[in-house]
Amino acid sequence: MSPPSASVAHAAPRISAFYAAYFLVAGVALPFWPLYLQARGLSVTEIGLMLGLTLMLRAAAGPFIGRFADRRDSTRGPLVACAFAVLGVAIAFYWTWGFWPIFVVSTVFTLAYAGVLPLGETIALRTVSAESGYGRVRLWGSVSYLLAAALGGAVLELAAVPSAEVIVSMILVCIVLMIAGSFAMPDRRGGGAAPAAPIMSLLGERRFRLMVLATTAIHGAHAVFYGFSTLHWLAAGIPEWVIGLLWAGGVVAEVILFAWNAPLLRRIGPVGLLGAGAVAGIVRWAVLALTTEVWLLALAQCLHALTFGAMHLGAMVFIARTVPASSSNTAQALFAATTNGLGLGAGLLIAGVLYAAWGADAYWVCAAVSGAGLVAVLAMRRPPP
């Protein structure tokens, strides 16, 4: 389904603005949310449980939101509703202390937040070319993530009030911008009613199932990094502002990949991009297991362009090429639920225990999980029996 070029030119800046606003939230939350949890009295093991359990709930909520949007054959309405729900729940973090109260609020927050990005991805892929246009709008999310991570670290360094409240305040400002970006999105229709059983139909496709397994492993291998790299680097004496730059620095390479992905995609295809993400993961996590030298960490962070960027782009192009438009919301939600929910959520549950017991050696498990993702990618290349 290819919209006229004039329509694409008009809609692309609005989609870019949505990605930029959405990833402002992630740019603050991913690096610094463990600090909020630590300030609220949670232990390392409890932080891993909190992050893992709430992410796994995304697997329960996301596909139902996607299926609802497919049945309505409308995406922007559910997207805006989810964005407003995220804001309403996030305010409660100001007054939440202790594991179980934070877990309850985080659960509701996650159920609402789970629908935002998959619905936005569906609109983007229905509006711009998956092969050449998608990366050009998606890169603005990476740029804003970079700025949020770097500026967030600087704000926390300078803040005169407790960091937990500062983190929540920064996230709330970013959510308001995300709501504005959601309103700006075009409402692209799928062109038909959803199948009777879309989730089972998608999972019944061998290559889609293998793609989900591969991305779940590749992204799940980020668990120790997302959950504990900030705490680990702080313990090693690295300042908060440098940590913010380390988080942001890897995104620079990711932006380059999204901006000039077309030649690489033509050469190796979406499955090749998935394989590159898996191989890069093996290397990246091995480096983080071995050193806290800042210059080596900076080089390893550049591999984020592959461990996340190539993996994500490969999955988006694969979905755009193989999934019918009438099931695209469901496919996106299922991808997000398994990759960001089950994969990363289960990884964080285990990561808390591994990091508490082994410290940086927990990254060796992440390297092994990336290897498992590579096995699934290789299976995608084999013809069906």
CA-based radius of gyration for the chain: 19
Residue 29's closest CA among 123, 194, 148?
148
Predicted local distance difference test score (pLDDT) of residue 197: 42
Higher pLDDT, 130 or 40: 40
CA–centroid distance for 327 within its chain: 21
The upper half-sphere exposure of residue 36, i.e. CA atoms within 13 Å in the direction of its Cβ, equals: 26
Burial bucket for residue 378 (CB in 10 Å: 0-12, 13-18, 19+): middle
pLDDT band at 199 (very low <50, low <70, confident <90, very high): low
Q: Give me the percent of the chain exceeding a pLDDT of 90.
A: 25
How many Å apart are CA 81 and CA 8, to the nearest integer? Answer: 25
pTM: 0.78
- Check the CA dihedral 29-31-32-37 and report its sign: positive
Tens of pLDDT, residues 251-270: 788 888 888 877 888 888 89
H runs (alpha helix) in the chain: 5-39, 44-72, 76-90, 99-113, 116-127, 133-158, 163-184, 198-203, 206-220, 223-235, 240-259, 262-290, 294-302, 304, 311-322, 328-336, 344-358, 363-381
Burial bucket for residue 193 (CB in 10 Å: 0-12, 13-18, 19+): exposed
How many Å apart are CA 236 and CA 293, to the nearest integer? Answer: 9
Which tokens sit at 357? 């017991």
* All structural domains of the chain: 5-381 (1.20.1250.20)
DSSP-derived 3-state class of residue 322: helix
Residue 49 reports pLDDT greater than 90: no
DSSP-derived 3-state class of residue 115: coil
Predicted local distance difference test score (pLDDT) of residue 285: 97
Predicted local distance difference test score (pLDDT) of residue 200: 59
Tens of pLDDT, residues 297-344: 999 999 999 999 999 999 988 988 888 766 777 777 778 778 877 787
How many Å apart are CA 284 and CA 297, to the nearest integer? Answer: 9
Residue 79's closest CA among 2, 11, 181?
181
Predicted local distance difference test score (pLDDT) of residue 72: 57
